[in-house]
Structures are given as C-alpha cells and as structure tokens.
Structure 1
Amino acid sequence: MAKLLLNLRYVPDDEAADVCAFLDEAGIPWYQTRPSPFGISSGGIWLRDNDDLPRAKALMAAYQARRQDRARAAQAQAERDGTAETFADIVRADPKRVVLIVIAIVFLIGLMAVPGYMLSR
C-alpha cells in the first residue's frame, strides 16, 4: 500500500523536484499526485512500497537539514549585504495590507477583552 512522504501544500517546485530526484537516486519507487482543481487536496509525493518509508524518511530528514542550512546561510548573507527584507520594506510594498492586519489584531484583542470587562462590572 502506498504511503504519503510529502504533502505538496505550500511546497515550492524546486523542493518537490529535489525530493523526486533523491528518491530516484536512492532507487525508491514513487509517484506524484497533482492538486485537485477545487483545492480539496494539494497533491503529494507517495512511496509505492511501505518498506521504503524508513529509508525515505531518513533521506528526507537529511535533505531538509541541508536545505535549512542553505536557507539560513542565504538569509545571513542577505542580512550582511543589507538586502534582507525588513518590516519597513513590507510596509512600503503593501501598506494597505499591513494596516488591515493591524486593525484586525486590535479588533481581535478588543473582542477578547470584552468578556473580562463585562465580568468585572
């Protein structure tokens, strides 16, 4: 019976391609399902044989550790270069979104405070 190795929700294409490549290198049979047209399922990378799951998970853990190291190194380099995205960059790029998020946060905090205020009276 097939086992899901990787749910493809929010997975970039390059990561999915890397996973497929290291599964092929290791000789682990797999197949990929595509997302449904209505967004009910997001697709996935499945292993054909249950016995391959422990080895595939070990390979996946090693891959994710390497990817994490590369991402952290790239972020550190961007911070050293001064090209890393800051909050000010986000506000400049999309001020309406930031204002709406702040308003939503204030509204929700106020909504949570109402019961305490009502009980204290």
Structure 2
Amino acid sequence: MAVLLFHLRNVPEEEAEEVRRLLDEHGMDTFETRAGFWGLGVAAIWLRDQNELARARELIDDYQQALGERVRREHDALAARGETPTLWRRLARQPIRTLLLALLAIAVLAITLLPFLWLYS
C-alpha cells in the first residue's frame, strides 16, 4: 500500500524538483498527486512500497539538513556583506510598494476597529 512521503504544499518548485530527482536517483518507486483546481486534494509525493519508507525518509531528512545548512550559509554571507533584507532596505529599494502596503495595513486596521470605536462613543 502506498504511503505519504513528502507534502508539496508551500514547497518551492526548486526544492520539490530536487526531492523528485533524489528519490529517482536512488530507485524509489514514487508517484505524485496534485491539489487540484480547487486545492482540495493532497499535493504530495507518495511511496509505493511501504518497506522502503525508512530509507526514503532518511534520504529526505539528509537532503533537508543539507538544504538548511546551505540556506543558513547563504544568509550569513548576505549578512556579512550587509545585504540581508530589512524593512529599511526594502523601503529604499521599492518605496512606493512599501508605502502602499503600509497604507493597506492601516486601512484594514481602521476598517476592523472603527465599528468598535463608534460603539464606544
């Protein structure tokens, strides 16, 4: 019986492709399901042979550990060069977009709180 191996919801396509390639290179018999048009299904990679679950899980865990270390190194390199994304850098790079998003947040907050303020006065 097939067993769920790897959820694909909110997974970047690059990471999903690397996991597919990793499983394929190690001869894992898998298939994939999509969430569908309305998103009601399960987007995932499934393993056909339940007996290979421990080996497949170990491969994915090792991959994710290496991915985490690589991303941390990249972030540390950006921080060392002073290029990590911050609110001020985004504001300097995209001032109109940042200000519009701030105005949108203020508008949502105002719409949410105004009925309560009217009840109080």
Question: TM-score if structure 1 supplies the norm length?
Answer: 0.72
Query: CA offset at residue 97 of structure 1?
Result: 8.6
SS in 1 for 2:56: helix
Show the counterpart of 1:25. 25
Show the counterpart of 1:47. 47
The alignment status of 1:72 with 2:42, answered yes or no, reads no
Query: CA offset at residue 94 of structure 1?
Result: 7.1
Report how many aligned residue pairs link the two structures: 120
- Runs of 4+ in structure 1 over 6 Å off: 93-103
Query: CA offset at residue 64 of structure 1?
Result: 0.4
Q: C-alpha root-mean-square deviation of aligned residues, in Å?
A: 3.0
Show the counterpart of 1:16. 16
For residues 1-121 of structure 1, the aligned pairs below 5 Å read: 1-36=1-36, 38-40=37-39, 41-91=41-91
Q: Percent identity?
A: 35
In 2, Cα distance between the equivalents of 1:4 and 1:72?
A: 28
Query: CA offset at residue 5 of structure 1?
Result: 1.0
Write out per-residue CA displacement over residues 9-31 of structure 1, whole angstroms, 9 at most, x where no aligned residue.
11011111111111111111001
CA 1:55/1:42 → structure 2, altered by over 3 Å: closer, same or farther? same
SS in 1 for 2:83: coil
In 1, Cα distance between the equivalents of 2:83 and 2:97?
A: 22
Q: Which moved more, 1:58-67 or 1:27-36?
A: 27-36
Q: Which moved more, 1:63-72 or 1:20-29?
A: 20-29
